[in-house]
Structure 1
Amino acid sequence: MGDMVKEIKSKFANHDDFFIEEELIYKTEIFVMGFGTLIDLTKSNLYVRQMAESSTSLKELFINLSDQIDVNFEQIINALLKGKLVIVSEKDKRNAIVDPVSRNLTRSIAEPQSESPLQSSVDAFVEDMNTNIGLIRKRMNTARMCHCSYEVGELEHRKLSMLYIKGKASDALIKEVKRQIKKIDTDIDTVEDLNKYFGERRFSLVSHVFQTELPNEATSLLKRNRIVLFLDNYPFALVFPQTLWDMFSLASDRNYPSIIAYAIRTLRGIGAIVNVLLPALYVSVISVNPEALKIDLALFVSESRQGIPFPALIETVIMVVLVDLILEAIVRLPKSVGPTITMVGGIILGQAMVEAKLVSTLLVIVITAIVISGSVVAGVQNSLYIRLLRYPILILASIYGILGMFIGFLITIVYLASLKSNGIPYTSFHINRKGDVE
């Protein structure tokens, strides 16, 4: 065993899935090596032997197997870590990096899990980045769609791809995103790790990127002058930049008549406003501004709260936090348990709290309304940050009443309007080709 093979074996001494197989081809001893968890060794060896039968010498075999021949030690190590098969001949001082028969470590294309498309294709992105790009190219077979590949990270070199349509996305935006990607010098383990390189919103509730697992949605956003990013081993497209309109407008809406599509989007907007303001409105008219109600309605509300030991703010916060906990539990628990938790938390617990006079029946109606309204917007991350926005408005409403509610809502609008991604405001409705916003 030669020096290079010994050095490689020493490098991976603590890796039990690393193999070095000794083969005899053309009466020459060669070493075949790789990771058994990434490579199908039997089929890869069979492929090498079949190529050997059609070659006349070891040199010709290496040329037929690969275009990466006689590379340095560092390149060999990187290739092995990426799941390549390496063949080394110590006698001739030659080596080759070969694309092996890989183990099938990716799932097939299936239906989306976090989004439910209507009147649209039901395939979804998977963990394999090349498959995801293929799903986009299948829908958009144009030479104007450009694809740039990168490797980012410090310890883990993770693949990242950027797609855009030439002539659609702004040249200035493309150059800036490329510059920001090249600046990445840390490992990208999460979307937030990538997100912090795209602007100054480190502690913002709103992400720079819109995540979708639907190829149709990503294709539509590409046509609307956006950039789409793919991270290897992450089954979502990251659309940059994200705007407020993305949570109300879906590509599948265009399958309906225009009036119906606009009505659906209007309902989503109403749902977002209801989700943010309804708990604050309840607290303000109960505890601060009861005079805003009609006499009959005020008497009804007063009767519904008879015997309730908590102030309106505490009562509302308890119920809102409890509902958020239930929603989070439903997401994390297995699907076989999720419906049970919904029934126990949403029906049994709610009914028990009303009968025990811990909360009013009117508040239960309010909570039901915000649960439903919080699910109408597009994107799971958008639903989450809308749920968080209602807490500061709720606090202001408990102090200043209806005036505090409107002040909180105005501050929220100003905050969202102040957010930008590479100079593009978050509250934009359209991004044109020159990078300006209309």
Structure 2
Amino acid sequence: MKNIVKEIESKFSNHDDFFIEEVLVDKTAIYLIGFNTLVELPKSKLYIQRIAASSTSVKALFLNLSDQIDVDTEQIVKAILEGELVILLKDGTRNAVVDPIAQNLRSSIAEPKSESPIQASMDAFGDDININVGMIRKGLNTERLCNCSYQVGELDKRKVSMLYIKGRAPNILVEKVNQQLKQIKSDIETIDDLNKQFGQRRLSPVSHLFATELPIQAIHSLKKNRIVLFLDNFPFALVFPNLISDMIRSENDRNFPFVLAFMLRIFRVIGAVATLILPALYVALVSINPGIFRTDLALFVAKSREGIPLSAFQETILMVVIVDLILEAINRLPKSVGPSITMVGGIILGQAMVEAKLVSNLLVIVITAVVIASSAVVGMQNSLYIRFLKYPILILASLFGILGVWTGFIFTVIYLSSLTSVDIPYLKFHIEQEGETK
């Protein structure tokens, strides 16, 4: 038992929230051991000191504190991971597992604002980085979960925590992220400031980081061999690297049978593709390649555009921009006003533009389908960048018709396939586990 302290310390050497604190009780040195993200250490120390004051000896103290005394190392490690406080004599001859004053991990936990989990926990991350790390530890109590902390910034020092599962996340990935975080000299105020540290993607709408406010999603990413970053005073987990699979797969899907989960993912793929090409297809088929339509369908389209002074491209770009403005306004306005703006912008304004002969009925249907499709993908930032990428394809469609649509779509896929994060392609669906053959 004499080397038990060193053994425990070596097991948790990669956990920056792990503590071993020495205190004196009746002139006898004892160690307090645990995680400060799970244990309220100052209050727990006061509790132990009060019990010590009413105990006749250190042996009596151990008996008064717990009925789990002199357990083996494996049980000690398990207790630490479960958020218990372990007290240990300095010479290692006696130990006890104590129920501590636990960190209140629910004090600042609210329901998610930007994600809607189905048949899953409604807890979301908060501003306190220790609480966020504690929520991950509660859901993933393994000694292989490593936590490395950094103080970054020049004027405003900000705490950053990097979490990964040892033996799952590739060592080369952990080392590169660790090196990048240690080299940060400038202040980190936004996600984009942190994003630039992993390689500047000039004029790119795709981030190196995938933001989620759901602990279950962050834990799922850790199990999938990736790294999770936390910024102090920021209520999101940042998954690195961001992969295209984050757009179509959600941990909530696993609550459904495989067939239903697969169907949901197919719908998200359809939604992403529809967002990219539907407006461009409308312009191409109406103005450049109307011969593709059957005669009766071509006559219907022509009749729907009768009396409209704008070209197909002009009315489409007008509607697309207005809809994107409405969506942005909804995100920025208070929740009490947002639904009203949706009603005014989505129904009254659209109907007024049709009656004023500025846009066709068919275009309103297309744009409505695009708005719904763009909301089908997982993650707000993914929806935003897909909506952004539809504009180049729309412009090419107005110039070259169907050829422009498919050329734009192919170039979009080529562009996305060229993106990498520390040599990991964006279009990769899975990161190999450390030691796993590709």
TM range (shorter): 0.7 to 0.9
1:202 shift after superposition: 3.8
Q: Residue 386 of structure 2 corresponds to which residue in structure 1?
A: 386
Q: Residue 76 of structure 1 corresponds to which residue in structure 2?
A: none
* Cα 1:160–1:230 shift into 2, 3 Å: same
Q: Residue 189 of structure 1 corresponds to which residue in structure 2?
A: 189
1:349 shift after superposition: 0.5
**8 A Cα contact 2:109 2:123, kept in partner:** yes
1:170 shift after superposition: 0.3
Aligned residue runs from structure 1 range 8-407, under 5 A: 108-407=108-407
| Paired letter, 1:230 | F
- Report the identity percentage: 62
Q: Deviations over 1:8-47 (max 9, x none)?
A: xxxxxxxxxxxxxxxxxxxxxxxxxxxxxxxxxxxxxxx9
| Paired letter, 1:265 | R
1:141 and 1:435 mapped to 2: Cα distance?
23
SS in 2 for 1:198: coil
1:249 and 1:279 mapped to 2: Cα distance?
25
**8 A Cα contact 2:308 2:357, kept in partner:** yes
1:367 and 1:403 mapped to 2: Cα distance?
21
2:210 and 2:201 mapped to 1: Cα distance?
14
| Paired letter, 1:420 | T
* Cα 1:435–1:271 shift into 2, 3 Å: farther
1:409 shift after superposition: 0.1
2:299 and 2:232 mapped to 1: Cα distance?
60
**8 A Cα contact 1:196 1:202, kept in partner:** no
Task: Give 5+ residue unaligned stretches, structure 1.
Answer: 1-46, 55-103
1:107 shift after superposition: 6.2
1:231 shift after superposition: 0.1
* Cα 1:280–1:144 shift into 2, 3 Å: same
SS in 2 for 1:110: coil
| Paired letter, 1:433 | Q
SS in 1 for 2:197: helix
2:335 and 2:219 mapped to 1: Cα distance?
30
SS in 2 for 1:161: strand
1:433 shift after superposition: 1.9
SS in 2 for 1:221: helix
1:218 shift after superposition: 0.2
1:434 shift after superposition: 3.9
1:310 and 1:421 mapped to 2: Cα distance?
43
1:203 shift after superposition: 2.7
| Paired letter, 1:171 | N
* Cα 1:435–1:172 shift into 2, 3 Å: farther
- Taking structure 1 as the reference length, the TM-score comes to 0.75
1:108 shift after superposition: 1.7
SS in 2 for 1:211: strand
1:282 shift after superposition: 0.1
1:204 shift after superposition: 1.3
2:437 and 2:251 mapped to 1: Cα distance?
21
**8 A Cα contact 2:167 2:434, kept in partner:** no
SS in 2 for 1:405: helix
- Measured on the aligned residues, the alpha-carbon RMSD in Å equals 1.9
1:133 shift after superposition: 0.4
Task: Give 5+ residue unaligned stretches, structure 2.
Answer: 1-45, 54-103
SS in 2 for 1:117: coil
2:392 and 2:353 mapped to 1: Cα distance?
25
1:245 and 1:202 mapped to 2: Cα distance?
22
**8 A Cα contact 1:168 1:224, kept in partner:** yes
SS in 2 for 1:155: coil
| Shift >3 Å, 4+ stretches | 434-438
